């Protein structure tokens, strides 16, 4: 991924893609002092750019560092990076990490680096394919207790368990893995939140130990605007047999129906389809 043309915004300036490097003794690499965002631009406009910039700064604060750029500066930097790369429909990846000045657990005075990369990632809006639904494995690792890890931050370190779980799911023939939380309740996927449909209402786990996705909040608003009841509650895995539709949602996944979770089967239906369409309209508005 590092040998490409184009520009990456790096600590305030656009630099050639190949030159956007960091030192091997970066604190962020050794000790996980790193946070990031995942966003999408549609027709040149980043969906919920401000919300992502706010979460980016909040994630850093949870990891005890401050991003040295304001929300407004970050929003402008993302737009400038899109323009410099002449991209309209793309993924947007801000990342911030502690630098290489101090090589120890404590690194209070290290510099904070910020970079923004964008790359082509058109949204695949093909409703017929989407409605076939994907298959999810059930992950071995669980989302940690919020008293054990900074669960509400989009922190690079928390993605270690996501990568292991997603690799295992792919090896076993699944598209992704459903992760339970530390108490064994249904939590989320490795890079997306999860929703279910039962008796015309949406059911989704309470986001108390995993990322309360910006897409998740958008889907809740879109469902309510349609008059669909949204119930945030504890969902145990043995309940999956009684739920009718299932979909995952996130910046990358958008709204993607699920056909299977391990032994449980779902039939993507009218509510999933309506929310796919509403989400597509919202991001392209
Ligand atoms: N959970 C995890 C673990 C994620 O990585 C993501 C993607 N950022 C989400 C949920 C969904 O978040 P969002 O809708 O803000 O992209």
pLDDT per residue of the chain (285 residues) written in tens, 0 to 9: 999 999 999 999 999 999 999 999 999 999 999 999 999 999 999 999 999 999 999 999 999 999 999 999 999 999 999 999 999 999 999 999 999 999 999 999 999 999 999 999 877 768 888 999 999 999 999 999 999 999 999 999 999 999 999 999 999 999 999 999 999 999 999 999 999 999 999 999 999 999 999 999 999 999 999 999 999 999 999 999 999 999 999 999 999 999 999 999 999 999 999 999 999 999 999
CA of residue 176 relative to chain centroid, distance? 13
Q: Which atom of ligand 1 is nearest to the CA of 250?
A: 14
* 116 neighbors 96 (Cβ within 8 angstroms): no
- CA distance from start to end of the chain: 31
Ligand 1 center to residue 58 CA distance, Å? 15
Q: What share of the chain is helix, strand, coil (3-state, %, to 5)?
A: 30, 30, 40
pLDDT of residue 73: 98
249's enclosing H/E stretch is strand 245-250
Ligand 1 center to residue 250 CA distance, Å? 5
CA atoms of 261 and 156, how far apart (whole Å): 26
Ligand 1 center to residue 115 CA distance, Å? 19
CA atoms of 285 and 277, how far apart (whole Å): 12
* 71 neighbors 77 (Cβ within 8 angstroms): no
Q: Which atom of ligand 1 is nearest to the CA of 52?
A: 15
pLDDT of residue 122: 77
For residue 28, the cross-strand partners are none
CA of residue 187 relative to chain centroid, distance? 14
Closest C-alpha to ligand 1, atom 13: 213
Helix runs in the chain, H state only: 27-31, 49-62, 71-84, 127-130, 159-171, 214-225, 270-283
Q: Ligand 1 pocket: which residues have CB below 6 Å?
A: 38, 162, 188, 191-193, 210-211, 213-216, 250-251
**Side-chain half-sphere exposure of 67, counting CA atoms within 13 A:** 30
Query: Pocket of ligand 1, candidates 169, 176, 191, 247: which has the most ligand atoms within 8 Å of its Cβ, to mutate?
Result: 191
pLDDT of residue 170: 97
Ligand 1 center to residue 157 CA distance, Å? 14
* Cβ neighbours around 151 below 10 Å, total: 21
48 flagged as catalytic: no
* Cβ neighbours around 21 below 10 Å, total: 10
Closest C-alpha to ligand 1, atom 9: 192
8-state DSSP, 17:
G
pLDDT of residue 125: 67
Pairing of strands 90-98, 112-120: antiparallel
Give the model confidence (pLDDT) of 217-242 as tens digits: 999 999 999 999 999 999 999 999 99
Q: Which of 48, 78, 130, 154 is catalytic?
A: 154
* Cβ neighbours around 206 below 10 Å, total: 15
Give the burial class of 262: count Cβ atoms within 10 A of its Cβ; 0-12 exposed, 13-18 middle, 19 or more buried: middle
pLDDT of residue 126: 85
Q: Which atom of ligand 1 is nearest to the CA of 190?
A: 3
Ligand 1 center to residue 47 CA distance, Å? 14
Q: Which atom of ligand 1 is nearest to the CA of 39?
A: 16
CA atoms of 204 and 222, how far apart (whole Å): 14
Domains of the chain, each with CATH number or no CATH: 7-120 (3.30.470.10), 127-283 (3.20.10.10)
pLDDT of residue 177: 98
CA of residue 263 relative to chain centroid, distance? 26
C-alpha angle 46-80-109 in degrees, rounded to nearest 5: 100
Ligand 1 center to residue 225 CA distance, Å? 22
Closest C-alpha to ligand 1, atom 5: 191
């Amino acid at each position: 991924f590092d040998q490409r043309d184009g520009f990456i915004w790096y600590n305030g300036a656009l630099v050639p893609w190949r030159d956007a490097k960091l030192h091997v003794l970066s604190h962020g690499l050794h000790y996980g002092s790193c946070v990031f965002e995942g966003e999408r631009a549609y027709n040149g406009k980043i969906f919920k750019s401000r919300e992502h910039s706010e979460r980016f700064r909040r994630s850093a604060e949870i990891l005890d560092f401050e991003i040295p750029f304001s929300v407004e500066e970050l929003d402008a930097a993302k737009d400038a990076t899109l323009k410099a790369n002449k991209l309209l429909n793309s993924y947007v990846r801000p990342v911030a990490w502690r630098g290489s000045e101090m090589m120890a657990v404590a690194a209070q005075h290290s510099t904070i680096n910020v970079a923004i990369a964008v790359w082509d990632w058109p949204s695949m809006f093909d409703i017929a394919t989407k409605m076939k639904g994907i298959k999810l494995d059930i992950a071995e690792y669980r989302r940690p207790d919020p008293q054990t890890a900074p669960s509400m931050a989009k922190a690079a370190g928390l993605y270690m368990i996501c990568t292991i779980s997603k690799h295992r799911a792919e090896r076993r023939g699944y598209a992704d893995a459903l992760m339970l939380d530390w108490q064994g309740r249904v939590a989320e996927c490795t890079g997306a939140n999860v929703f279910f449909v039962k008796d015309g209402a949406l059911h989704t786990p309470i986001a108390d130990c995993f990322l309360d996705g910006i897409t998740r909040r958008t889907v809740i608003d879109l469902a309510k605007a349609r008059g669909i009841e949204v119930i945030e509650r504890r969902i145990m895995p043995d309940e999956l047999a009684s739920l009718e539709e299932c979909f995952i949602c996130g910046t990358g996944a958008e709204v993607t129906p699920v056909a299977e979770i391990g032994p449980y089967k779902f039939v993507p239906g009218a509510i999933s389809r309506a929310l796919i369409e509403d989400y597509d309209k919202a991001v392209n508005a």
